[in-house]
Amino acid sequence: MQFSKSTDYALHALVHLGHSERCNNVGIKELSSALGVSESYLSKIMSKLRQDGIVRAVPGVNGGYELARPADQISFLDVIQVIEGRQQLFECSNSSSRQHRLLAEEGAAGRDQKRPGKNECLVEKVMNGAEQHLHQYLQEHTIQSVLDEAFKRCSHEVNKK
């Protein structure tokens, strides 16, 4: 299991856009040369990001891309979910198997607090818990937080001299 290269490209592209904020739009040429990816492939990815409202795009001369909202409102989770999709990280394949049903039977504890019909297998339960933790972390980290960190490094560098 791995994140796709597209996610890598998307994240790096957004950091680049965030960095060039006050300038005009950034064209696919500049982006692709900065990231070292082909224009054709990267444009597919940018298109996805646009469809999901992460970036804006204008065609024509001097066109290009820009962030659709402030960089501190674009979380890693947002980006990942656009590129990788919003499916669960883990799903039990055969919910009708003996083993699954055994682990999914709602005990008394569950029946009191949770809505009926949930019927979550105990293996799923652990995995979904893991996913929630992951999501929380990824939501707390934004494009802006990368920019901040980069700036911090840079200014330390200057102080040394």
Residues that bind its own copies (CB under 8 A): 1-5, 7-9, 11-12, 15-16, 33-37, 76, 84-85, 87-94, 96-100, 102-103, 105-110, 122-123, 125-127, 129-130, 133-134, 137-138, 141, 145-146, 149-150, 152-154, 156-157, 159-160
The distance of closest approach from Cβ of residue 68 to its own copies in the complex, given in angstroms and rounded to an integer, is 20
Cβ(15)–Cβ(53) below 8 Å: no
CA neighbor of 16 nearest in space, from 40, 44, 36, 1: 36
Q: Is 50 in the site for DNA (CB under 7 A)?
A: yes
Residue 10 main-chain phi, psi, to 5 deg: -60, -45
Name the residue among 157, 156, 147 with its Cα closest to residue 21.
Answer: 147
- Residue 147 CA to residue 145 CA, distance in Å, equals 5
Q: Which is nearer to its own copies, 21 or 137 (CB)?
A: 137
Chain-centre distance of CA 84, in angstroms?
Answer: 8
Summarize as ranges the residues that interact with DNA (CB under 7 A): 1, 4-6, 25, 27-29, 37-38, 40-41, 43-44, 46-47, 50-51, 57-65, 84-85
